[in-house]
Amino acid sequence: MSPLKIKIPNINKSIIECHADALPAFMIEKNYKYQYESLNLSRKTIQQFQSLDPVHAIEISRNTYHFFSGWFWLPYCRHLNCGKVTVIVHSKIEQYDIQQAAWMYLLSNQFKSFHRHNNLIQLKHYLDSVPDHIEKNLFNSIDTGSSQVIVQRLSNETRSVVRSQEKHFKSLKASISKPSIREELTGSNKSVS
């Protein structure tokens, strides 16, 4: 493992670009279309997300970094003129390790995504659970009214789509909680191993 150092350079006064060995993975993700519109998040939220998912890079020279992981929030930080970003600088790292880190980062982002049949309702549940004083700081230009409206605006989905997913989720939840025919006949709640 290479020695690590945390730096917080100003994104406007530094060169932060993709390392050549990470470019194939970076370019694939650059072409992905995501369910949620991140630019509806506030600048403060984007900055916090970026600091929790920092850029991993090597420092080429003063204020010049070549990243190979943790790039997801960089374009949003640039677009919203966030100023400083968190960079974990690796001083010694091999070409193979850079390539592996880039591909693993890309894969890890996919594993963090919601299931397509539940993603909207899971986000709605999350929003319903967030304390009000935190929720009002999360979004940029969205009325922080009902969680359903926020989900619609973040996902660019219609009210009908969100409600349909909620209805499906509730019926699925209800069917799971019903006892099986075997349990009803035997009066048992135990599952068969």
Residue where a domain terminates, one of 94, 111, 128: 111
99 plus 50 within the same structural domain:
yes
28 plus 80 within the same structural domain:
yes
- For the chain, the three-class secondary structure string (H helix, E strand, C coil) is CCCEEEECCECCCCEEEECHHHHHHHHHHHCCCCCCCHHHECHHHHHHHHHHCCEEEEEEECCEEEEEECCCCHHHHHHCCCCECCEEEECCCCHHHHHHHHHHHHHHHHHCCCCCCCHHHHHHHHHHHCCHHHHCCCECCCCCCCHHHHHHHHHCCCHHHHHHHHHHHHHHHHHHHCCCHHHHHHCCCCCCC
pLDDT at site 144:
57
pTM: 0.72
82 plus 126 within the same structural domain:
no
Q: Is 185 within the bounds of a domain? A: no
User: Which residues 6+ apart lie within 8 Å of 178 measured at CB?
Assistant: none
- Give the domain extent around 92: 4-111
149 plus 97 within the same structural domain:
no
Q: Is 105 within the bounds of a domain? A: yes
pLDDT at site 192:
47
106 plus 60 within the same structural domain:
yes
pLDDT at site 1:
52
Blockwise average pLDDT, block size 10, the chain, 193 residues: 83 95 91 79 92 96 95 94 94 92 88 73 79 71 72 84 80 62 63 47
55 plus 20 within the same structural domain:
yes
The domain total for the chain is 2
pLDDT at site 68:
97
pLDDT at site 142:
62
pLDDT at site 193:
45
